[in-house]
Amino acid sequence: MTDTLSVAPPNPVPTKHLPGDLAIWFFILAELLAFAVFFSAYAFTRTNHVELFNLYQQTLDRNAGALNTVLLITGSWFVVLAVKAAHRDEQKAISRNILLGFLCGGAFLVVKVFEYSAKFGAGISMSTNTFYMFYISLTFFHFMHVILGMVILAILWFQSRQGAYGSHHMNGLESGAAYWHMVDLLWIILFPLVYVMH
């Protein structure tokens, strides 16, 4: 056993390199701040209307939410694979994985549209009550971010097909990947907060 341990690769040297462009991180932080304000507003409002929030939370489709969580995490995984492929200069794998990530985003939107149509079909709107106001506001704001993330992935896919990324050209790909992970991260907070926790 000790032999096998001794030949194991050394721990990767921690790097101070920030993946992607500094500008995208400013942008991501601003986005996170906007969501943080919304999440806090949700939390504080809920403390005054716990029963109302618990009651109407039951009406949400948790299975659809869980499915969407899986879709976004899978999408993020594909984007990670794309970045890894770029480090190894495997051009085909870069664009293939970006495309798969994009498709996961698309599937998320489809599930969400079904969920929305059920709710809107039942006559629910932002003016129905405070819980639904938050549910629609938060999920729709996130929905728009998924669309923006997909636009970014589409650009990355298009660029990667022309060989724009590789081990020495990581900036654009890493910037876009960081944004896509943010979209995923936000959902991982949003889903338990709005759909599950009571």
Partner 1 sequence: MQFKSQAVAKPYFIAAIGLFVGQILFGLILGLQYVLGDFLFPEIPFNVARMVHTNLLIVWLLFGFMGGAYYMIPEEAETDLFSPKLALLMFWIFLVAGALTIVGYLTVPYATLAAMTGNDLVETMGREFLEQPLPTKLGIVVVALAFLFNITMTVLKGKKTAIATVLLIGLWGLAVFFLFSFYNPVNVVLDKFWWWWTVHLWVEGVWELILGSFLAFVLIKTTGVDREVIEKWLYVIVTLTLISGIIGTGHHYFWIGTPEYWQWWGSVFSALEPIPFFGMTVFAFNMVNRRRREHPNKAAVLWALGTGVMAFLGAGVWGFLHTLAPVNYYTHGSQITAAHGHMAFYGAYAMVNLMMISYAMPILNGRAANSNKSQVVEMWSFWLMTIAMVFITLFLTAAGILQVWLQRVSDTPLPFMVAQEKIVLFYWMREWAGVVFLIGLILYIASFFIGGKEEAAK
123 sits in the region (left: phi over 0; alpha: psi -120 to 50; else beta) called: left
Quote the least distance from Cβ 129 to partner 1, whole Å.
10
Question: Which residue in the set 57, 74, 91, 137 belongs to the binding site for partner 1 (CB under 8 A)?
Answer: 137
Q: Does residue number 144 form part of the binding site for partner 1 (CB under 8 A)?
A: no
What's the closest the beta carbon of residue 176 comes to partner 1, in angstroms? 15
For residues 187 and 173, what is the distance between their CA atoms, to the nearest angstrom?
Answer: 22
| 3-state DSSP assignment of residue 169 | strand
Q: Which of 34, 66, 70, 151 binds partner 1 (CB under 8 A)?
A: 34
Cβ atoms of residues 173 and 81 within 8 Å? no
Please count the CA atoms within 13 angstroms of the CA of 42 that sit on its side-chain side. Answer: 27
Task: Tell me the sheet residues that pair with 166.
Answer: 169
CB atoms within 10 A of CB 47: 8
Stretch that binds partner 1, among 11-19, 71-79, 125-133, 170-178 (CB under 8 A): 125-133
Cα gap 79→101, rounded to integer Å: 6
126 touches partner 1 (CB under 8 A): yes
Among 41, 50, 55, 118, binds partner 1 (CB under 8 A): 41
**151 touches partner 1 by CB under 8 A:** no
Kindly identify the residues of this chain, within the stretch 6-25, that bind partner 1 according to CB under 8 A.
21-23
Residues lying near partner 1 in the complex (CB under 8 A) are found at 21-23, 26-27, 30-31, 33-34, 37-38, 41, 126-127, 133-134, 137
